[in-house]
Amino acid sequence: MTNHFDLSGRVVIVTGGSSGLGKAMARGLADYGARVVIAGSDPVKCAAATDELHAQGYTVIGVPTDVTQPAAATTLINAALDAWGRVDILINSAGVSQNAASLEMSPEEWRRVIAVDLDGAFYCCQAAGRAMINGGGGAIINITSLSGMLGYANQAAYCAAKGGLTMLTRALATEWARYNIRVNAIAPTWFYSPISAHILDDPSQLAQKLKSIPLGRFGQGDDIVGAAVFLASDAASFVTGQALCVDGGKFAMLGEW
Query: Positive or negative CA dihedral for 220, 232, 41, 165?
Result: negative
E strands of 138-242, at which residues?
Answer: 138-143, 181-188
Return d(Cα 1, Cα 247) in angstroms, integer.
31
Distance (Å) of CA 245 to CA 95, 131, 184, 195, 218: 17, 28, 11, 19, 13
158 catalytic residue (yes or no) = yes
CA distance 1 to 145: 35
Q: Exposed, middle or buried: residue 193 (CB in 10 Å: 0-12, 13-18, 19+)?
A: buried
How far apart are the C-alpha atoms of 120 and 176, rounded to whole Å? 19
Q: Report d(CA 23, CA 36) in Å as an integer.
A: 11
Distance CA 52, CA 31 (A): 14
Q: Which of 32, 58, 123, 158 is catalytic?
A: 158
CB of 132 within 8 A of CB of 80?
A: no
CB 64 within 8 A of CB 46: yes
Residues annotated as catalytic are: 158
